[in-house]
Amino acid sequence: MPRSPGRPKGSPNKVNGQVKEMVLAALDKAGGVEYLVAQSSANPTAFLTLVGKVLPTQITGDSEAPIVHRIILEGVGPA
């Protein structure tokens, strides 16, 4: 019995879109930006993991005029 081709290549996964909408709605109800700011102090590891997931995975630019000049990481102690 041949397998069906499934979702055509390049078509969006509806479930992923629905989950993303639910997460964004929950974030809005939790307080949006203010909530994320609070989480950056309360749960810095989780917050930075989230930041890493939303940043572009590849940055290109002119080597003579770099996009990023310097990255500074500072540790945050317990409140």
Dist. CA 54–CA 2, nearest whole Å: 39
**65 phi, psi to nearest 5 deg:** -135, 75
Q: How do the pLDDT tens digits run along the chain, 79 residues long? A: 566 677 778 777 788 889 989 999 999 999 999 999 999 999 999 999 998 888 876 666 677 776 666 777 788 877 6
